[in-house]
Amino acid sequence: MAGPDVDANTSSRLDVPTAAPHITKDQALKDPSAQDKPKPVRTRPQKPNYFLIHSKPLPLETCPLPAFVPQNPLSLLRIAYIYLSQLISAPSSHRDVPITGIFSSETRSVHITDHASVRALWEMGFFGKGTMSRSEPSWPDREKARLKASKHGGGTAEENTRKRREERKLFKLERARAEAEQIEETLRKERAALESAKEEKDVEKATEIAISHVFPWMQQQDGDAEFKEETKAVPAEDTEPKETATNIVEVPVLPTGSTIHTTGIPTDTVVVANEEETPITNQEHLQLNLEESFFLSYALGSLRIIDSDTKQPLSTPSLLTLFRQHSHFPTAQTSALRSDDPFLLNYVVYHHYRSLGWVVRPGVKFSCDFLLYNRGPVFSHAEFALIIIPEYVEGSVEAAAGKGKMGWWWLHCVNRVQSQVKKSLVIVYVKVPKEIPNAAEGEVDIGKLLRGYEVREFVIRRWLANRSRD
């Protein structure tokens, strides 16, 4: 039996999407929907070009040779000319004015006070931290923004964060008050329903039994009436509750327009009387730890450290002895210095990874010794966290005493912390030599001293059953 007639042009083939027709420029101008919509106005300030600001990895000036272009033979002559000129008069890789720092025995660090030197050390290698900042020395910029906010409104990032926290606190108080009122109203309704049910329990029960025996056909109607009576027994909402439950926490009701000030945060701002910009004296210093200071002084030669007491520059051997003494607490005597001083162990690891091109930063925030950044803190988070463990020679007194050995409980705790912050834990073993030259005996060859240490590293990751099974 033949089926119904089917149009071969429509149902005998699948619908294949075709390309959209080309719209000319004149058609686009005539069609208002095809015109470009206005771009949204940028509300956030544009971020600085960090690749340009931090283009130099170290505070040194380099003079690279120009690139050789095979298609242009004259480029070879230019390379030869620049190379010969650098051989005759070699350009200096250091600044004309050396960076000067002052050693502070109270803070066990070196302070840089010159603003140009501070910016140079931070922008070229991310050395140190601001004494009045979390990391980058940005106190003058924050102070200017604060003074500007006092005149024109707005504020710095810290001030905006404080305002958001106050608003969030007010919202939580209001939400807690509403929840407490709702719970109190629910309890009041339940108590009223229980009291009314208790009073009418006996009467309703006797009536229900009598009706069920005498008039069975009225049981359903009485059931509906009972439901209606229970509904009417609940009183309407009162403006004030008669009694307060004992398990409800009373939340203070804030008056309209009131604000809450967080304890410990200053609420007063400096008001500038005149409209001109008030000059700000930079009160922030760059604080370098002992490893950063010695690396800049010994390895790079770009930092000169002055003693705060004598006001005289410190030589490299005396600087090494001074830093080794202050790496102990309390400060150790020269005769008590050993080959496993904390400064020597930390500096060997710091120098090792800085030489490999990593940006090394202190890791006390994440319960480790150092953090390794690929290019710097402004580009990405730290990928690795370092834990330094000394490794003593077999047969030494320290090895026999079990010094430098850590338990599995400690390792699991440290690894758990690094896993939570998404960092790979690296255990760095530093092989300690038996003896090193004493600085009191004369000039010490620091290069020979550092070559006596060996560094071994192991990356530890958490073992997960669902990722490690076959």
Q: What is the CA radius of gyration of the chain?
A: 38
Which residue is it, tokens 């108080």? 173
Structural contact between residues 289 and 282, judged by C-beta atoms closer than 8 angstroms: no
Backbone phi, psi, residue 223, to 5°: -65, -45
Among the listed residues 54, 326, 351, 423, the single catalytic one is 423
Which residue is it, tokens 């007010």? 170
Residue 288: closest CA among 332, 245, 242, 350? 350
Residue 132: closest CA among 143, 121, 124? 143
Report the distance separating Cα 86 and Cα 99, nearest Å. 25
Write out the DSSP string of 111-149: EE--HHHHHHHHHTT--SEETTSSSS--HHHHHHHHHHH
423 is catalytic: yes
Q: Determine the 3-state secondary structure of 381 from DSSP.
A: coil
DSSP conformational letter for 295: I
> Sign of the C-alpha dihedral, residues 329, 331, 335, 337?
positive
Among the listed residues 353, 373, 392, 453, the single catalytic one is 373
- Each as own residue / partner, the long-range contacts of residues 268-276 (CB below 8 Å, 24 or more positions apart, any chain) are 269/146, 269/149, 269/150, 270/146, 270/147, 270/150, 271/150, 271/151, 272/147, 272/150, 272/151, 275/151
Residue 368: closest CA among 324, 428, 323? 428
Report the distance separating Cα 427 and Cα 411, nearest Å. 10
Backbone phi, psi, residue 185, to 5°: -65, -40
Amino acid type, 135? S
> What's CA 383's distance to the chain center, in Å?
13
Report the distance separating Cα 282 and Cα 287, nearest Å. 15
381 is catalytic: yes
Report the distance separating Cα 174 and Cα 201, nearest Å. 40
In terms of C-beta density within 10 A (0-12 exposed, 13-18 middle, 19 or more buried), how is residue 387 classed?
A: buried
213 is catalytic: no
Structural contact between residues 377 and 126, judged by C-beta atoms closer than 8 angstroms: yes
Residues in CB range of 27: below 8 A, 6 or more apart: 34
Amino acid type, 467? R
Among the listed residues 381, 405, 434, 448, the single catalytic one is 381
Structural contact between residues 95 and 61, judged by C-beta atoms closer than 8 angstroms: yes
Looking at the annotation, which residues are catalytic? 373, 381, 423
